[in-house]
Amino acid sequence: MNYKIIFESLSIAWRSIRSSLLRTVITILIIAFGIMALITILTSIESLKNSLSSNFTRMGSNTFTITEVRMQRRGHSPGRKVEFEPITWDDARDFKNRFNFPAIVSISVYASGTATLKYKLEKTNPNISVQGADENYLLTSGQNISMGRNFSIQDVSLGRSVCIIGDGVKEKLFPSGKNPVGEQISIGPQKFLIVGVLESKGSSFGFSGDNSCIVPVTCIRRFFGQSEASFSINVMPSDAKLLDAGIGEATGLMRSIRKLALDQEDNFDIRQSNSMVTALLENLRYVTLAATLIGLITLVGASIGLMNIMLVSVSERTREIGVRKAIGANNIAIRNQFLIESILIGQLGGVLGILLGILAGNIVGIVLGSGFVIPWGWVLLGIVLTLIVGIVSGLLPAVRASRLDPIESLRYE
C-alpha cells in the first residue's frame, strides 16, 4: 500500500512539473550548474592526479636527485647562511666516483629548451629540450630506448658527437618513417649522429615529453657554452628499502665534496622522485576546497530559486489542495506531495549536473593525457547535496500547503 502511495505521489509530482515546464527547467539547470561546476573541477583534479602520478613516478619511487639550492630554505637557524653555489662538473664526477653504495648514479645537465634540430630540409620548431647525460641517465630517469642504443661509457668519456632523440623529434625530422638511427642531424651549428630513439611518453598539460634530445654530458661545456652550468645527480638505490640510507650517505659525501664545516647548512638539495608530485597533490587540496565552495554557493542560489517556485506552485494549486483535502487527504499527505515534488526537481538537476560534470572533467582529462575518471565519492556527495537542497527548499512550501484551510482553498481563485 505504501508503495502505491509513493508511486502515485511521484506521478502527481511529474504531472505538476510538466505543467510548469519552463520555470522547472530553469531551476533544474541552476541546480545542474552548481553540481556540474563541482564535479567538473573535481573530475579534472582526479585526472590531474593520475597524470602527475603516471608522469613523475616513471623515475621510480626509489630514486632521489641532488641539485643546487634553488630557493632560500625556510626555518633555517638565524645567523646561518646558505651559499647558492652550483654543482660543478668536478663535484658531480667526484660524487659518482666516490659514492660507495649499492646504487646507480647518473649525471645530467640542462642545456637548452629552445633548440632547433635539422635534418636535410626538415627542421623542428624551436622548442626542443636539449640536455647532457651520461650512460646511466636513462636507467635513473625511467626512460627506455625504442630504437638504437643507449650511450656507451666511451661515448661519454670521449665526448663523442652522438645523440638520442625523442619520439616527437623523430616524427618531425623523419616524417616518411625512415629509421633515424645512424643519420646525422644538426643542433645549432654542431653535427650529431643519432644512436637511439626514446619511447614515446605522450603529452601532458599541453606539452610533449617527446620533444627532447640527449647528448653526452661531456659535450655540453664544449658545444653549448655551459661552463657555469649546475649539474644534477640522480641516484637509484638497488633496493627501495635502502632509500633513506642512500640519502644519508649521499648527504655526507656531498658535504665532504663541498667542504662544508659542521656548523654550515647544506648548500645543495636532495629530493625524492615523488616529492614534487606529493607537493603538487598537497596544494590541490586548496583547489578542491575552492571548487566545493563554488558549488555550495551555486546550490544555495538554486535552493532559493526552488523554494520560490514551490511557493508559487502552492499558490497556483490552492484550489487543488482544497479538493484533495475535501476527498480525504490529510495534512501529512499534502506535505509529502509537495516535498516529493521538490526532491524530484532537485534530483533531476543533480543527475544532469553530474553527467555534464563528468563529461566536462574528462575532456580536461583527455587534454592532460589521463584516462577516463569518475570520482564516485564526489558523485555520491552531489546526489546527497541535491537531496538536501530538495528537502530544505520544499519543506517550507510543503508545510504551508498542508496547513491551508480546505474550505478557504475551495473558494480560492
- Asked if residue 82 and residue 49 are part of one domain, the reply reads no
The pLDDT value given to residue 169 = 94
| CA 40 to the chain's CA centroid | 13
Q: Which of 72, 62, 86, 95 is nearest to 272 (CA)?
A: 62
Looking at residue 372, its pLDDT comes to: 74
Tell me what pLDDT residue 55 has: 60
156 and 267 fall within a common domain: yes
Q: Please, is 376 exposed, middle or buried when counting C-beta atoms within 10 Å of its C-beta (0-12, 13-18, 19+)?
A: exposed
Q: Which domain holds residue 19?
A: 2-55+279-410
Same domain, 313 and 182: no
Using CA atoms, how far apart are residues 390 and 393, in angstroms rounded to an integer?
5
* 258, 273, 288 - which closes a domain: 273
Residues 253, 130 share a domain = yes
Q: Is residue 354 domain-shared with residue 233, that is, in the same domain? A: no
d(CA 329, CA 406): 10
pLDDT value for 1: 44
Domain count of the fold of the chain: 2
Q: Do both 254 and 338 map to the same domain?
A: no
Question: CA 386, CA 346: separation in Å to the nearest integer?
Answer: 5
Which H/E stretch holds residue 207? strand 207-208
Sequential pLDDT tens for the chain (413 residues) = 466 666 777 777 777 777 777 878 888 888 888 788 788 877 877 777 776 666 655 555 578 999 998 654 444 444 444 556 889 999 999 999 999 999 999 999 999 889 999 998 999 999 899 999 999 999 888 889 999 999 999 999 999 999 999 999 999 999 998 999 999 999 988 999 999 999 987 655 445 578 999 999 998 877 766 557 889 999 999 887 888 899 999 999 999 999 999 888 998 999 887 666 666 667 777 777 877 787 778 778 778 878 888 888 788 778 877 888 888 778 888 888 888 888 888 888 889 988 998 888 888 777 766 667 787 887 888 888 888 888 888 888 888 888 887 766 666 65
Task: Quote the CA–CA distance of 291 and 369 in Å, as a whole number.
Answer: 22
| CB-count exposure of residue 411 (10 Å: 0-12, 13-18, 19+) | exposed
For 43-69, what is each residue's pLDDT tens digit?
877 777 776 666 655 555 578 999 998
Contacts of 79 (CB under 8 A, 6+ apart): none
Cell of 154: 666511451
Please identify, among 233, 251, 273, the residue that sits at the C-terminal boundary of a domain.
273
| pLDDT value, residue 71 | 53
* Residue 155 and residue 261 in one domain: yes
Q: Are residues 77 and 171 in the same domain?
A: yes
pLDDT at 164: 96
User: Cα–Cα distance between 174 and 168 in angstroms, integer?
Assistant: 10
Question: Which amino acid does the sequence have at 261?
Answer: A
Domain boundary, last residue among 229, 258, 273: 273
Q: How far is CA 383 from CA 1, 28, 92, 214, 351, in A?
A: 27, 14, 56, 51, 7
Distance CA 410, CA 95 (A): 93
Domain match, 325 and 180 both: no
Give the per-residue pLDDT at 302.
77
134 and 240 in a single domain? The answer is yes
Can you give the pLDDT at residue 325? 80
DSSP assignment, residue 242? G
* All three cell numbers of 207: 606539452
Rg from Cα positions in the chain: 33
Same structural domain, 266 and 389: no
Do residues 150 and 229 both lie within one domain?
Answer: yes
Helix, coil or strand: residue 26: helix
Distance between alpha carbon 171 and the CA centroid of its chain, in Å?
Answer: 27
Given this model, what pLDDT does residue 385 score?
83
In this predicted structure, what is the pLDDT of residue 276?
Answer: 61
